[in-house]
């Protein structure tokens, strides 16, 4: 198998870092104060134009949108008979939310804003929203590197990286997660992305992936458009975002901050 060790080692380091961060969070160490300070600084940035953008960005990381994109990625790879990438992506996409739920229960950290979610999702570490977004959009970035020319591939990676960073920012901005929840999510997702990268490395070749990637991009944009239109109001309500008569958005987390 190609490059197996080069993917396993960094994946293991990411898991070790996640475990260390999880222990710090669970023990209520000094990281709690840092989280509070960073959260307050981010929430202080709230203003009407940015509010709209942040709510829209966080929708791109919602479970429904991500599931539709993930399914399209796997199906298109299977149609192209890219067996290793399809298997690696499917494995990562299925395992990630299960692992997130397990870690949430083990750490048991409350969210900064209460009553946003029910069940195991009331726990905050790591951010499932951010973990799943990083895995799926990170997989698309890896897909792009195998489908596009070097320059276009780098631009696609930069675009997906920016999107992932914005989704992470949105989770803190909306009071759904602490900053360390987002960091933990990236660490967990990184381990999964090394698995996906390994899968793609088993079947190199730009020509094999160019058309499938173009189709996945079209599907993703369509999902974004439809999902955004039909869920934006529900998202505004969910995160306690209310419109004033002037059209501005007033963000009021449940804890009163």
pLDDT band at 3 (very low <50, low <70, confident <90, very high): low
Residue 144: pLDDT above 70?
A: yes
Q: Tell me which residue range forms the domain holding 195.
A: 4-32+49-240
How confident is the model over 28-83, as pLDDT tens digits?
Answer: 766 778 888 898 899 888 887 788 889 999 999 999 999 999 999 999 999 989 99
Of the candidate ranges 84-98, 140-154, 190-204, 235-249, the one whose mean pLDDT is the lowest: 235-249
Whether 172 shows a pLDDT value over 50: the answer reads yes
Inside any domain, residue 43: no
Coarse DSSP helix, strand, coil percentages of the chain, rounded to the nearest 5 percent: 75, 5, 20
Number of domains in the chain: 1
Residue whose C-alpha is closest to residue 61's, from 128, 109, 144: 128
Interval 92-117 mean pLDDT = 88
Does the residue 38 lie in any domain? no
Residue 194 resides in a domain? yes
According to the model, what pLDDT value does residue 253 have? 42
Find the mean pLDDT for residues 223-252. 68
Q: For residue 42, is it within any domain?
A: no
Is 9 inside any structural domain? yes
Whether residue 203 is contained in a domain is answered as yes
In a domain, 230, yes or no: yes
Distances (CA, A) of 85 to 113, 202, 221, 228: 38, 8, 22, 29
pLDDT at 257 over 90: no
Q: Is residue 232 part of a domain?
A: yes
Structure tokens at 174: 């909306």
With 70 as the cut, is the pLDDT of residue 247 above it?
A: no
């Amino acid at each position: 198998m190609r490059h197996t060790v080069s993917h396993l080692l960094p994946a293991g380091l990411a898991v070790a870092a996640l475990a260390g961060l999880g222990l710090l969070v669970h023990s209520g160490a000094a990281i709690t104060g840092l989280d509070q300070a960073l959260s307050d600084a981010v929430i202080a940035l709230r203003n009407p134009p940015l509010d709209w953008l942040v709510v829209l960005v966080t929708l791109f990381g919602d479970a429904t949108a991500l599931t539709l994109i993930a399914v399209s990625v796997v199906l298109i790879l299977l149609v192209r008979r890219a067996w290793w990438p399809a298997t690696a992506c499917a494995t990562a996409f299925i395992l990630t939310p299960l692992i997130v739920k397990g870690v949430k229960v083990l750490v048991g950290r409350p969210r900064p804003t209460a009553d946003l979610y029910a069940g195991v999702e009331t726990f905050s570490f790591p951010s499932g929203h951010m973990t799943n977004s990083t895995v799926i959009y990170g997989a698309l970035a890896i897909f792009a590197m195998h489908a596009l020319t070097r320059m276009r591939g780098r631009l696609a990676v930069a675009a997906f990286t920016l999107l992932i960073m914005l989704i992470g920012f949105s989770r803190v901005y909306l009071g759904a997660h602490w900053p360390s929840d987002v960091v933990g999510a990236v660490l967990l997702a990184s381990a999964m992305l090394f698995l996906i990268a390994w899968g793609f490395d088993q079947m190199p070749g730009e020509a094999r992936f160019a058309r499938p990637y173009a189709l996945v991009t079209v599907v993703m944009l369509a999902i974004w458009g439809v999902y955004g239109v039909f869920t934006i109001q529900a998202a505004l309500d969910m995160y306690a975002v209310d419109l004033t008569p002037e059209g501005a958005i007033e963000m009021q987390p449940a804890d009163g901050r």
